[in-house]
Amino acid sequence: MKKDLWIGGEYRNASSYMKLKNPFNLEVLAEIGIATKEDVLSAINAAQQAQVEMAYLPSFERAEILEKVAQFLKDDREECARLIAMEAAKPLKAARAEVDRTIMTYTFASHEARRIHGETVPMDGAPGGQGRLAFTVREPLGVIAAITPFNFPMNLVAHKVGPAIAAGNSVVLKPASQTPLSAYKIAEYFHRAGLPAGALNVVTGSGSKIGDVLLKDDRIKMITFTGSPEVGRYIRENSGLKRVTLELGSNSALIVDDGVLIHQVIPRIVTGAFAYQGQVCISIQRIFVHENIFDSFVEQFVSETQKLKAGNPLEEETDISAMITRGDVQRTQEWVEEAVINGAQLKLGGRSEEGIFQPTILVNVPSGEKVSCEEVFAPVVHINTFRDFNEAIDQVNDSKYGLQAGIFTNDIHKALQAARKLQVGGVMINEIPTFRVDQMPYGGVKMSGMGREGIKYAVEEMTELKLISFKTE
Ligand code: NAP
């Protein structure tokens, strides 16, 4: 299969192609077009031209287009899940869950398209402001460049394309090189749904080569990026005065307080740590357990993790499959070995086979170890102990990241204390930090990023507030 570039509402030949391989068995899945600088400029041109039509498209029409895309996804749920499973090595169960969430994301986008509005402004609150009727409206920004990662190839594209189209913008989408097929699929759905040609363009090729064309072009008004902190920082520093939102990584933490019925929460914590091989921005990486329950927690956690089945992502039973690259397997191996040399105890895993890194549990990891203070983005979790609750909060906050944190406790005071003190974008009480539904505000502090997604909040980022003031007297 050959995939050309999607520009101006049609596939256009690329001048060269790269082989896309299945990360699990390394079979070639497709030949993917590599965009040149001219191709990217041509996509920006197409988006710029479509922008005029998009800005005047009534909101009910934008909403209907988004509803149709959600319906196409429902119709093709299994096909889409298999596409994600193949290009991202995401186990089918998780891939289906991603398609279901993508449907929700476009559905929320269609709702949001119908209710973008401003507010009246009480101008007479200031001396000299009387005799005026004033209100705000929200206008589309124009052309938005969306740059997305490999780990949720459909739903994270939806979190950018959904609100951008809902708000009347046009988009140039640059998906991760490992997961272009689901992005092209979405472009085809939008085309079928009646989106004006050029309002969504997809360009593929190495981000480090074509990214700069998007960052430097003044016709692009906003970069919405999800990916690693390193690339996020580069984008922030090289985008001039464009609006930029960054959804970056984390080393998410969970506190488990004394008195919690651990057998009730452990299955969920295991899912939060190892789903999609830990390659989720809010995967549980650090667990802090009260010393009174530490030993039994570790024992039960290990035994629950042993139930996970590793294998081909396309098999129904598979829970864990290959990591995205063999290089990431190697890096993970090195980080785990380093931690063990420096005093951590390995309770489970620590090895890999054919691209699959076994679910790995470490205990008593020094906080300076890479598996603790860097984003591991692999099926590796560590469990440390605490005695004093404030100490647990400090340990969670002792991180350069701050996306979401979770706490299980029966003590309302501690829950409220955690809510106030944890330095993150979202605090999940009696829940794992890995929890997300697609309409909630979502984003990080510190090196986890800036700006918020969750359709309503992304629409705010993707629109310009304009004030209109009538002098009536
Ligand atoms: P990545 O390597 O940063 O890549 C993300 C995207 O950026 C890809 O499309 C990539 O293209 C592109 N890119 C690379 N270099 C670029 C440059 N110089 N200029 C412009 N674009 C460039 O991230 P990833 O490995 O795909 O994804 C994993 C990361 O995403 C983790 O850190 C994870 O925590 C984070 N993430 C965050 C969230 C969140 O919502 N906070 C959600 C999911 C994932 P190529 O693929 O062609 O290199």
450: Cβ below 6 Å to ligand 1? no
278: Cβ below 6 Å to ligand 1? no
**Which residue's CA is minimally distant from atom 24 of ligand 1?**
149
- Interstrand relation of 426-429 and 404-408 (parallel, antiparallel or unpaired): parallel
433: Cβ below 6 Å to ligand 1? no
Ligand 1 geometric centre to CA of 161 (Å)? 16
Ligand 1 geometric centre to CA of 223 (Å)? 13
Amino acid residing at 431: E
Q: What is the pLDDT along the chain (473 residues), one digit of tens a residue?
A: 899 999 999 999 999 999 999 999 999 999 999 999 999 999 999 999 999 999 999 999 999 999 999 999 999 999 999 999 999 999 999 999 999 999 999 999 999 999 999 999 999 999 999 999 999 999 999 999 999 999 999 999 999 999 999 999 999 999 999 999 999 999 999 999 999 999 999 999 999 999 999 999 999 999 999 999 999 999 999 999 999 999 999 999 999 999 999 999 999 999 999 999 999 999 999 999 999 999 999 999 999 999 999 999 999 999 999 999 999 999 999 999 999 999 999 999 999 998 999 999 999 999 999 999 999 999 999 999 999 999 999 999 999 999 999 999 999 999 999 999 999 999 999 999 999 999 999 999 999 999 999 999 999 999 999 999 999 98
Contact 198, 26 (CB under 8 A): no
Rounded to an integer, what distance in angstroms lies between the CA atom of residue 132 and that of residue 123? 6
* Residue 26 CB neighbour total at 10 angstroms: 11
174: Cβ below 6 Å to ligand 1? yes
Rounded to an integer, what distance in angstroms lies between the CA atom of residue 213 and that of residue 223? 12
377: Cβ below 6 Å to ligand 1? yes
Rounded to an integer, what distance in angstroms lies between the CA atom of residue 76 and that of residue 408? 38
pLDDT of residue 302: 98
Contacts of 15 (CB under 8 A, 6+ apart): 34, 36
pLDDT of residue 222: 98
Ligand 1 geometric centre to CA of 428 (Å)? 25
Rounded to an integer, what distance in angstroms lies between the CA atom of residue 39 and that of residue 174? 12
**Which residue's CA is minimally distant from atom 9 of ligand 1?**
176
Ligand 1 geometric centre to CA of 176 (Å)? 7
Ligand 1 geometric centre to CA of 374 (Å)? 16
**Which residue's CA is minimally distant from atom 48 of ligand 1?**
207
Half-sphere exposure in the Cβ direction for 320 (13 Å, CA): 26
Half-sphere exposure in the Cβ direction for 376 (13 Å, CA): 33
238: Cβ below 6 Å to ligand 1? no
153: Cβ below 6 Å to ligand 1? no
Active-site residues: which are they? 247, 281
3-state SS string for the chain:
CEECEEECCEEECCCEEEEEECCCCCCEEEEEEECCHHHHHHHHHHHHHHHHHHHHCCHHHHHHHHHHHHHHHHHCHHHHHHHHHHHHCCCHHHHHHHHHHHHHHHHHHHHHHCCCCCCEECHHHCCCCCCEEEEEEEEECCEEEEECCCCCCCHHHHHHHHHHHHCCCEEEEECCCCCHHHHHHHHHHHHHCCCCCCCEEECCCCHHHHHHHHHHCCCEEEEEEECCHHHHHHHHHCCCCCEEEEECCCCCEEEECCCCCHHHHHHHHHHHHHHHHHCCCCCCCEEEEECCCHHHHHHHHHHHHCCCCECCCCCCCCCECCCCCHHHHHHHHHHHHHHHHCCCEEEECCCEECCEECCEEEECCCCCCHHHHCCCCCCEEEEEEECCHHHHHHHHHCCCEECEEEEECCCHHHHHHHHHHCCCCEEEECECCCCCCCCCCECCEECCEECCECHHHHHHHCEEEEEEEEECC
